[in-house]
Structure 1
Amino acid sequence: MNKQEQRHIFESIIEQHKGILFKVARTYCPDEADRQDLIQEMMIQIWQSVHKYNDQYKITTWLYRISLNVAISYYRKNSTRTKKFTDLNEQMMEIPVEDKSENEKQLNLLEQFISELKEIDKALMILYLEDKSHTEIAEILGMSISNVGTKVGRIKEKLKTRFAQLKS
């Protein structure tokens, strides 16, 4: 079997039976990122084994065998890492959470509003909040000093409006 035939068979198998891969991955990996990694590992193993497929067995049996073997190996390799993360998260949950002060809430909102700005506006506000002068900001961002002042003023108005909308 040449590479083109192998590729065609592989793509056909994956397209027709991808549900098997997703089902196995969902069973072994509750985390989406891990699940995607596991599916990729399964696909690599299927690609490497497609030329060995014996058609006396059902394709689904062969796919389950490969998928489950990969998933079990993957689970064993990652169970230690997952256990450490789980333990850490459980310990963190035991820490008493104090009510956030009003200032802290306002700062969190400000960070959120800034994160929603355009890229250049985010940069401007970060520098402005770092107490950089308009001259320094202009030099860093390659703008005129008057443009920095105008943009900072507009952004501050935009942020004030966002805070005012929350209060009403």
Structure 2
Amino acid sequence: MRNKTQLDIFDRWITEFKPLLFKVVRAYASTYEDQNDLFQEVSIQIWRSIPNFKERSKVSTWLYRIALNVALNWTRNNRKHTDGKQNIETVKHILEQVNEPVDERLDWLYKEIEKLDKVDRSITLLMLDGFSYKEMAEILGISESNIGVKIHRIKKHLTKQSEIEEHHAI
């Protein structure tokens, strides 16, 4: 692939899919600086991977998978420096950036999502982003039925936690 063609594709994809990529970045990086670092890592991996895109899936699905894999590796590599959990203050900061009042239930939900293991957290984020079971399975490399089972367990867990804390009923 010619560098000019690759650069055109890269620019178009980064521009078009930046909001999607930043959803992944924000879910795995707590601070503004970490988010920028992780976004740069994701961008580098997208650049390197463009020649390998075979159009077997939608561009958005393929890019999401790249971003998710980079984020998971980044989290694993940075875990020795942090406890690996996203700081809820960062979530509040993100919400405040879009000038929306912080909803107590949303605040609680993000705290609960932080507590999930990395696969369940990824599934939850994909589900919240509206991906189908098939797309989630493709992105995460697990079966659709496994996705269904995990979503059922996640919903059951979140429902139970909301009942325990009563005022956060979801």
- Scaled by the length of structure 1, what TM-score is found? 0.49
Higher-Rg member (1/2) = 1
- State the TM-score, normalizing by the size of structure 2: 0.48
Q: Going by fraction, where is helix more abundant, 1 or 2? A: 1
Q: Report 1 or 2 for greater relative contact order, CA contacts < 8 Å, sequence distance ≥ 6.
A: 2
